[in-house]
Structure 1
Amino acid sequence: MRNFYSAYWWIFLLRGIFALVLGVLAIVWPGATFTTLIVFLGAYLFIAGSFAMVGAIAARKTAENWGLFLMSGLAGIVLGILTLYNPFATGAALIFLVGFWAMLAGIFEIIIAIRLRTLITGEGWYIAGGLLSILFGILLLSNPENAAITLTWLFGFYAVISGVMLILLSFRLRKK
């Protein structure tokens, strides 16, 4: 008897094809892809928030924390509307968020490497990685327009690799 994954191998194939196409579009057409991704993010936030609110209202008699789900849904709807209203502001905020995160992560990597130097050898590589993270964050923040293209390319390469892996997995599952 075939298992679930082998029976539905084609789902992995479709996901892989979708990821591959999206990745190629992101690499070839990064500006439009970044804007489109932000608009899709807005739509996702709105739809997910709507479902969360409906679920919260439906569960108000059986779930203790239904109010939290309701607030979460409301926040999703508001963020979705704001994103759809001004996708460029959301895109800029995303770039700044990633830039600050990269710098903060780099600082923590350096701190951890310094603290671990008595336990491990080669901590210099971890420090170098932290410095690269900080540099990456600075570069993102110094030129947000190019950062949008760079992040879209990184996403594109990730999506292409992920898509190829999913397609190969689907063929392996089909044989089972």
Structure 2
Amino acid sequence: MNRFFSEYWWLFLLRGIFGVILGLMALFMPGVTFTTLIIFLGAYLLIDGIFSIVAAINARKTLDAWGWYLASGIFSLLVGIITFYNPFATALALLYLISFWVIVAGIIEIVIAIRLRKEIRGEGWYIVGGLLTVIFGILILVNPIAGALTLTMIFGIYALIFGIMLIYLGIKLKQRKGQVVR
């Protein structure tokens, strides 16, 4: 195992803990507004960016792809700063971005299903899935408040699962500290 990962196990653990806290807040505090979630997202991006930059700089001698960690950290840090500067614009931009992405993904699903008609049976279900995806994207555009609440719940589930995975990874890396596998 690369020395970087085992020596900086605590970075994964801290990121995981923060992700779990953010996920639980998004899921169990229904009164929290989407704007507040955007602020939490900005805080997460700032902290994640700082940790990723520190990790990348420390890994530059031991990890060939350290530049990717650095680029990711810088990008997270910049988006976090922009979010704190103007959370409303970030929230609206995020909603529109997600909405258009979902609509395009749904259209692509429909096109793939139509092209697969000669290859598989039951492609109608794939078309229905694509239509539902397109409708979801349109609903976000038409009713951004409901879209924001739905996306808040989806984000909470994601953050919780990803945070748990990072905590588990941090613990496993700590257990392997000092063991170098080639």
Counterpart of 1:80? 82
Counterpart of 1:22? 22
Q: CA RMSD in A?
A: 3.3
Does the CA-based 8 Å contact 2:82-2:90 persist in structure 1?
A: no
CA offsets 1:100-153 (integer angstroms, 9 cap, x no match): 321222112101110122133442332232122112112212321121111111
Counterpart of 1:69? none
Q: Normalization by structure 1: what TM-score?
A: 0.66
Q: Normalization by structure 2: what TM-score?
A: 0.64
Structure 1 121/32 Cα, relative in aligned 2: closer, same or farther at 3 Å? same
Q: Which 4+ residue blocks in structure 1 deviate beyond 6 angstroms?
A: none
Does the CA-based 8 Å contact 1:27-1:153 persist in structure 2?
A: yes
Counterpart of 1:149? 149
Structure 1 90/11 Cα, relative in aligned 2: closer, same or farther at 3 Å? closer
Structure 1 11/113 Cα, relative in aligned 2: closer, same or farther at 3 Å? same
Counterpart of 2:126? 126
Structure 1 portions without partners, runs of 5+: 49-72
Does the CA-based 8 Å contact 2:6-2:173 persist in structure 1?
A: yes
Question: How far is 1:41 from its partner?
Answer: 4.4
> Where in structure 2 are the equivalents of 1:1-176 lying within 5 Å?
3-29=3-29, 32=32, 34-39=34-39, 41=42, 80=82, 84-85=85-86, 87-176=87-176
Does the CA-based 8 Å contact 1:31-1:149 persist in structure 2?
A: no
Higher alpha-carbon Rg = 1
Structure 2 portions without partners, runs of 5+: 50-74, 177-182
Indicate the percent of aligned positions where both proteins have the same amino acid: 55
Structure 2 counterpart of 1:151, one-letter code: L
Structure 1 counterpart of 2:147, one-letter code: A
Q: How many pairs align? A: 144
Structure 1 2/84 Cα, relative in aligned 2: closer, same or farther at 3 Å? closer
